[in-house]
Amino acid sequence: MFTAKEIWEAGRAALSAKENAAPAPTPAPASVAPPAPVVHVEPVFDPAAFGFEARPYRVHFRGGTSGEYDGAVLAGYFPFDPREVARVEPVEEVGQGL
């Protein structure tokens, strides 16, 4: 067991050693590079590569509107801005021939 005097002297010695010690160097601020921006590039519709047939197609636009157009006409002349076209799909004739 330690006496009260030994404990007192050990505490004083520890405090004086702490006061006489050189201050710890401050760490350099970490340079964090900002994250690269996420760029979402939407594909642009290519009417020349679609291969329209002589049947009706529904053209869906990015603004949420759509319309039905004849594929034979769209194959010769595509009157829309391809960047505004979200998708093109053939119109299915449901219930015909029953």
| pLDDT tens track for 41-78 | 678 888 888 888 999 999 999 989 999 999 999 998 99
* Dihedral sign for Cα atoms in the order 62, 65, 71, 73: negative
Is the model's pTM score more than 0.75?
A: no
Tracing tokens 């006409």 back to the chain, one arrives at 73
Which pLDDT band, with edges at 50, 70 and 90, does 84 fall under?
very high
In the chain, where the domains are located: 47-90
Q: What is the pLDDT of residue 67?
A: 92
DSSP label at residue 8:
H
Beta-ladder partners of 58: 68, 89
pLDDT in tens, 18-49: 777 766 677 777 777 777 777 766 788 888 88
